[in-house]
A = this chain, B = another copy of it.
Amino acid sequence: MSIEDEIGGWRRTHYSSQLNPRLNNEHVTLMGYIASIRDHGNIVFVMLADKDGEIQLVFKKGKGAGNSSSDNSTTTPTAVIDDGYTSIPFSKVKSLKEHSCIAVKGRVKVAPNAPKGIEVVPEELKILSLARSIPPFSVYSKTFPNLDLRLNLRAIDLRRYYMKTIFRIRHKVLKAIREFLDKEGFIEVNTPKIISTASEGGASLFPVFYFDREAFLAQSPQLYKEQLVTAFEKVFEIAPIFRAEPSRTNRHLAEAISVDVEEAFVDYKDVMNLLERMITYTIEYIVNNASDELKIVNPILTVPNIPFPRYTYDEVIDILRKNGYSIEWGDDLSSEHLALLGKVINGYYFIVDWPSSIRPFYTKNNGKVAEAFDLMYNDLEISSGSSRINKKEELIERLKIQGLRIEAFEYHLKVFDYGMPPHAGFGLGLERFLMTIARLDNIRDATFYPRDIDRLVP
């Protein structure tokens, strides 16, 4: 049967981060997975990793059975420690493999040559789960060329310290964003992901079989968050959005997390100010509260100045033409255009006042120019937003112009009969924002289990 042990009554007393030389000679119970093993024959060094970091365990051969930790046997010439010897059968120690989950009871020892000036000498060992395979990457490697191999084994890929660091930062980014919006008086909402109609037009929807009806996965909470400002005025939602775009780029996902914000009685300029304050609040929070993580992924991160530079669409067209691109007023910006912009303009900046023809139907406009913006970081669009239309006739007119079926939006249009306030808002792509903070090249590493046209598993 299994040579593995049950956890039983053992419980961790310390995380690796809680160990320090002041605990010298204290008994501790540690648990985690094995990051690495250095086997020197009669002495085996094990780096034990837990959620906070790692600690060196030292197993030495030559000690008898029994639970005593006193040094009552022959000394070993290679000894670097002078007591705390264990009753653990050495064959058990030798059976350990990297990535196995273990628990040890032992003593903390000051050890000037150990990675943190301390190590732990185990007196008891439980093998909670013995690894049968060794993954093709080390937990210490920052990069590994084969993305598919990593994603196929994503749970284990995430044990790499580099990946764990990204997601610790992600947690703090979410925390900072919510803290900011809460302080600003926004309430968190959740809107349905199974919907009857496209909110941004008909393209790029995943169909769902909903009981006996056809439905779709929401591309965005757009129409719902607009409706919710009628009662709550200031709302935000942080939730998945679904886009059936057959893109194979480093910046598109079929399922992503969107930070959606909507506010009544303001226009696009107000929410641009709000957005740039949210961005700087979050980055400042990360700089102040994730300095260890930033050392690994982005040591040069600094809080950008506000206001962010604002370029009108017209100015962007001028820049592109001066750089040899032929682009007509009214054209959307292609990835080539954005690549050029990213070389000319650095950091966070807005592009404002877009042609209304290339913005969604709900965008407020004067017939030609929309009160709309994109927030960019170099060549990467991380957010877009606008003032919204709050008059029913205007909205119906835009639906017609964009060739959408009025009847499909009846449920939304009727809200406008009951006093729809002027409002504005934006959606921020969480993964893309994280790319700018953690300096990631591929959006797939800003999410736990990426979804794209080629990948549905794991």
Nearest-CB distance from A378 to chain B (Å)?
25
Asked whether A175 and B178 contact (CB < 8 A) given A193-B255, A215-B456, A390-B129, the answer is: yes
Chain A contacts to B: CB under 8 angstroms:
2, 4, 6-7, 11-12, 15, 31, 33-34, 50-51, 97, 99-101, 103, 128-133, 135, 153-156, 158-159, 163-164, 167-168, 170-171, 174-175, 178, 182, 185, 187-196, 206-211, 213, 215, 217, 224, 227-228, 230-234, 239-240, 242, 244, 246, 254-255, 257, 264-267, 270, 390-391, 393, 411-412, 414-422, 447-449, 451, 453, 456-458
Name the residue of chain B whose CB is nearest to the CB of A242: B194
Q: How far is the CA of A164 from the CA of B234 in the complex (A)?
A: 12
A210 touching B456, Cβ below 8 Å:
yes
Chain B neighbourhood of A447, CB < 8 A: 190
Residue in contact with A456 in the complex, picked from B31, B213, B234, B453, CB distance below 8 Å: B213
Copies of this subunit: 2
Asked whether A189 and B208 contact (CB < 8 A) given A213-B456, A231-B155, A458-B411, the answer is: no
Chain B neighbourhood of A167, CB < 8 A: 187, 189, 232
Q: How far is the CA of A156 from the CA of B227 in the complex (A)?
A: 8
Nearest-CB distance from A433 to chain B (Å)?
14
Asked whether A193 and B240 contact (CB < 8 A) given A31-B265, A210-B206, A231-B155, the answer is: yes
Q: How far is the CA of A188 from the CA of B103 in the complex (A)?
A: 25
11 further A-B pairs in the complex, CB-CB below 8 A; given A194-B254, A211-B254: A2-B391, A4-B391, A34-B419, A101-B420, A128-B265, A129-B391, A129-B419, A129-B422, A156-B230, A175-B182, A196-B456
Chain B neighbourhood of A224, CB < 8 A: 448-449, 458
Name the residue of chain B whose CB is nearest to the CB of A159: B231
6 contacts across the A-B interface (CB closer than 8 A) = A11-B270, A31-B264, A133-B417, A156-B230, A175-B178, A194-B255
